[in-house]
Structure 1
Amino acid sequence: MTLKDKTTVTFYNGLTTIGGPMIEVAYNKSHVLFDLGEVYRPELKLPDESYQTLIKNKLIGDVPNFYDPKLTGKPIDTDRWEHAAAYISHLHLDHSKAMNFLAPEIPLYAGPITAHLLPALNEKGDFLLPAAGHDRTYTRPIIAAEYKKPIKVGDIILEIYPSDHDAYGATGLLVKTPDKQIAYTGDIRLHGYHPDWVRDFMQAAKNSDMLIIEGTGVSWPEEKHDENSEEFTGPKNEVELTEEIVHLQKANPERQITFNTYPTNVERLLRIIADSPRKVVLHAQRAHLIKESLDEDYPYYYMPNEEHYADLKPELEVSYDELLADDHKYMWQVVTDYDKLQKGGLYIHSNAEPLGDFDPAYKPFVEALANNDIEYKALRCSGHADEKELKEIIAGVQPAVLVPVHTLHPELEENPYGERILPKRGQTITL
């Protein structure tokens, strides 16, 4: 039998930016979209984050027949498309922030951890973009996919694999049509907690007709990961990072130590808590996030006059004043009022917000610590594969076609095993 229909892949966004990939795979009357994030460009100083503003500034892709008609003003062509679904690879906003823009009738899939955590992260309506006709705290339904279990979307099959990134529960995706297989890495690395999961995904993706791979690790060729390269400085892997935090505590037995991490990097935080010689105390909002999403209880504190959470155990509360006075018992998560910390203290910034120089809030934040004579220690471990790891992943898959996305320099990723395509925004490739 000759198949007359062809598999097409259309690239709507996130090709030469770090973040925001939006890609559609279509076959006959079935199509799927992944991911649903917003490109992070704070320097644009946009008046709002409406659908129209984000489309105009190319921060989301102009994807037909997926967005909510209440936003676009255009109905979805259900005659052309009988089957549709969307997928998000992980929690980070450059992959998830626009998920509420998806038409409500289109099912949205994610790995089980991502599906569970996203509503908790958006509880106050300050994580995701709002859905049309709902208040800001609404999070649209997400189907928690079983790992490696086929999901049928008309003629297309999706399979979601556990992967490794600095977002808890990150996944990769295989898309199978009647004649082709496409692998999408999402954000990926081999130096995290679960390199075995990544290699399992590579094996499942082996000899794919197309590998769509992130390329954050080749975005700064002028730095070549030397001492000036912010993305790849510091510990070489997550285990080393935790060990360094433990070492800093042991080396400073009588010194106030505070820290912060990124909210979605739950696994790093749990490892720090488990290995820390001092008792780790979280800000109540973070403790609540972990309680709501994982049902685990950890010591916490409230800032003065802060809203209390009914699900946090009263016996685990530590007073804010006790933390401010402490220099040996606790390592605690600080989120504001840095001027109240003890002079001469140590603050550990582990991929927390503000994320770096590109964020206008970063410089004032670092200066505020310096003005209070607090040592600022950045301990980061990249969530992205470096140049060497990217080559290893490509070698593990050996794709017929390689498409680098999510990078400032896609041309620096090569495919020794076949063709490499550098698509333009909005371009469709027929396999």
Structure 2
Amino acid sequence: MTTVEFWGGVGLIGSSKILVSEGSHRVLLDFGTDIPAEADLFRSPVAARPGRELAHRLRVGAAPRIAGLYDPAQLDAGDPLGSAGPGTGVDTEVFITHGHIDHCGLAGFVDPRIPVHASPATIALLSALSAAGEGLPGGDPAWQPLPDETPVQVGPMTVERITVDHDTPGASGYLVTTGDGVLAFTGDIRFHGRNPERSWHFAERAAGCDMLVTEGTALGLGLPPGPPRTEDDVLADFAAALAAAGRDLLLLALYPRDLERVTEFVETAAAAGRRIVWGDRTAAFLREAGAPDPLSWSSVGLDALRADPGAFVYQPDLGDLSGIADLGDLPVGPGTVWLHANGEPLGPFESRWQLFTEWLTALGIPLRRIGSFGHATADDLHAFVHRVAPKVLVPIHTQAPDLLHPLPPTLRVIPEYATPYRLDGRRA
């Protein structure tokens, strides 16, 4: 019998973890960092001691207690989670949808004997972060590059990766074929990016599946009505801001893992006679990721920005905001604007956001949000679900799963944490 357990993403956005079991074999879809419904205990300035990250997270319930999954070397001595690992009769393989921490952030804690599969592009992205000193806590897992639509056998189950559209390279959904039917998982998905045909292709491949597990980030967020902003809208706003700034410095917050947008912004800035200066950590990552000659802060410096602010767009490394007071040293002019294109801090839901905006107000720097939502809108989610027409629908990665309404006869199941379900939606 096939069972499905949801160890993350239940009633909240992020921390996806879906455990599919058949006999003595298990498939874990995503292994994201837990984002608690309450305040995150590990938000700045708190940080787990290196080498103790997993043990600290387990102690406060910020990582799931799944036996036979973790690297015993990173567990407390005698922790029963380390007593049922590979070679003890339970075989597990992990499949990551993409390189955002709420989907892969715990992968560095996986037992190194367990394969961790992902798209080649996702592995390249996370390997570049690791090489730049920004890798996963616990280190790199036993990465296994998985080509698009190439089945992998895990005991009696078959797992197939299908590329979808999201705001990071290599984003994927998965089809898991078991003895009891097919489970489809979207990962994070959108239909208004550069490649919406990828997501609709996933809908075609998942059509008629027994259980569809889908992200539902947009549900209940109160997003503005009307069509979603596209990447063309983002790029047009950036170009307009470049034209309006005159010879004043522009500031930027762009998420570096969106390498497609990084490339487009660098090209658009160059066409306007400017170069983007990245904080040193971001520049190191972009260099490892293959971006052409990223310009780092340490190679330019404050004097160059003061001498000719109109020649640059600057994205500082703010991290935990400990260096935000340095913004007061920048050559801010009447045309200076901070363009927020889905970078960090990510938004008002983050603990850093209020301090960030308070500093901008104090320094007289206007904030203009020009990003595009990285997830499917509520309308697109419904169109997607109706096209797939699964027997059972399970919305996760959302605070409002009850707002996703399938058409009959699809059964919607709102799951409970760590509770086993059959593919027909009944409790096991």
TM-score (norm 1): 0.86
Determine the C-alpha separation between the residues in 2 that align with 1:346 and 1:278.
17
> What SS does the aligned partner of 1:86 have?
strand
Tell me the residue number matched to 2:5.
Answer: 10
**1:126-275 correspondence runs (5 A):** 126-130=134-138, 138-220=139-221, 223=222, 225-226=223-224, 236-275=229-268
Residue 82 of structure 1: how far off its partner (Å): 4.9
Residue 386 of structure 1: how far off its partner (Å): 1.3
1:339–1:369 contact (8 Å) kept in structure 2: no
1:249–1:278 contact (8 Å) kept in structure 2: no
Q: Does 1:66 align with 2:69?
A: yes
Output one character per residue of 1:192-226: Cα deviation in whole Å (capped at 9) or x when no partner. Answer: 11101111111111111110001111033xx3x23
Residue 88 of structure 1: how far off its partner (Å): 1.1
Pick closer, same or farther for the CA change 1:125–1:289 going to 2, 3 Å: closer
Tell me the residue number matched to 2:315.
Answer: 333
Residue 322 of structure 1: how far off its partner (Å): 1.4
Q: Does 1:410 align with 2:401?
A: yes
Pick closer, same or farther for the CA change 1:397–1:280 going to 2, 3 Å: farther
Among 106, 109, 120, the residue aligned to 2:117: 109
Q: Does 1:23 align with 2:21?
A: no
Residue 364 of structure 1: how far off its partner (Å): 1.9
Output one character per residue of 1:34-62: Cα deviation in whole Å (capped at 9) or x when no partner. Answer: 21111235834346543344335443322
Pick closer, same or farther for the CA change 1:392–1:58 going to 2, 3 Å: farther
2:211–2:391 contact (8 Å) kept in structure 1: yes
Determine the C-alpha separation between the residues in 1 that align with 2:355 and 2:307.
25
Residue 363 of structure 1: how far off its partner (Å): 1.6
Tell me the residue number matched to 2:426.
Answer: none
> What SS does the aligned partner of 1:427 have?
coil
Among 388, 393, 400, the residue aligned to 2:384: 393
- State the one-letter code of the partner of 2:224: D
1:278–1:331 contact (8 Å) kept in structure 2: no
Q: Does 1:424 align with 2:413?
A: no
Among 31, 35, 53, the residue aligned to 1:36: 31
Determine the C-alpha separation between the residues in 2 that align with 1:158 and 1:196.
22
> What SS does the aligned partner of 2:142 have?
coil
Q: Does 1:119 align with 2:108?
A: no
> What SS does the aligned partner of 1:328 have?
helix
Residue 83 of structure 1: how far off its partner (Å): 3.4
Determine the C-alpha separation between the residues in 1 that align with 2:67 and 2:371.
38
Which 5+ residue runs of structure 1 have no aligned equivalent? 1-5, 131-137, 304-316
Output one character per residue of 1:231-256: Cα deviation in whole Å (capped at 9) or x when no partner. Answer: x9x97111211111011111222221
Tell me the residue number matched to 2:275.
Answer: 280
Pick closer, same or farther for the CA change 1:80–1:210 going to 2, 3 Å: farther
- State the one-letter code of the partner of 1:383: G
- State the one-letter code of the partner of 1:393: F
Residue 78 of structure 1: how far off its partner (Å): 5.1
Output one character per residue of 1:288-343: Cα deviation in whole Å (capped at 9) or x when no partner. Answer: 3222123x32340333xxxxxxxxxxxxx545421233243222323352112223
Determine the C-alpha separation between the residues in 2 that align with 1:127 and 1:374.
32
TM-score (norm 2): 0.86
Residue 390 of structure 1: how far off its partner (Å): 0.6
Output one character per residue of 1:149-193: Cα deviation in whole Å (capped at 9) or x when no partner. Answer: 111111111111111122222111111123411110001111111
Determine the C-alpha separation between the residues in 1 that align with 2:285 and 2:133.
14
2:132–2:285 contact (8 Å) kept in structure 1: no
Determine the C-alpha separation between the residues in 2 that align with 1:202 and 1:391.
12
Residue 407 of structure 1: how far off its partner (Å): 0.7
Determine the C-alpha separation between the residues in 1 that align with 2:150 and 2:397.
27
Determine the C-alpha separation between the residues in 2 that align with 1:413 and 1:94.
21
> What SS does the aligned partner of 2:58 have?
helix
- State the one-letter code of the partner of 2:306: L
Tell me the residue number matched to 1:313.
Answer: none
Determine the C-alpha separation between the residues in 1 that align with 2:295 and 2:143.
29
Determine the C-alpha separation between the residues in 1 that align with 2:179 and 2:86.
21
2:8–2:417 contact (8 Å) kept in structure 1: yes
Determine the C-alpha separation between the residues in 2 that align with 1:151 and 1:180.
16
Among 370, 390, 401, the residue aligned to 2:361: 370
Determine the C-alpha separation between the residues in 1 that align with 2:261 and 2:62.
29
Tell me the residue number matched to 1:384.
Answer: 375
Which 5+ residue runs of structure 2 have no aligned equivalent? 319-325, 424-428
Determine the C-alpha separation between the residues in 2 that align with 1:81 and 1:125.
36
**1:52-91 correspondence runs (5 A):** 52-70=55-73, 71=75, 72-73=79-80, 74-76=82-84, 81-91=89-99
Determine the C-alpha separation between the residues in 2 that align with 1:69 and 1:299.
39
> What SS does the aligned partner of 2:421 have?
strand
> What SS does the aligned partner of 1:377 have?
strand
Pick closer, same or farther for the CA change 1:56–1:416 going to 2, 3 Å: farther
Tell me the residue number matched to 2:331.
Answer: 342
Determine the C-alpha separation between the residues in 2 that align with 1:382 and 1:58.
30
Determine the C-alpha separation between the residues in 2 that align with 1:106 and 1:52.
19
Tell me the residue number matched to 2:287.
Answer: 291
**Cα root mean square deviation, aligned:** 2.3
1:38–1:96 contact (8 Å) kept in structure 2: yes
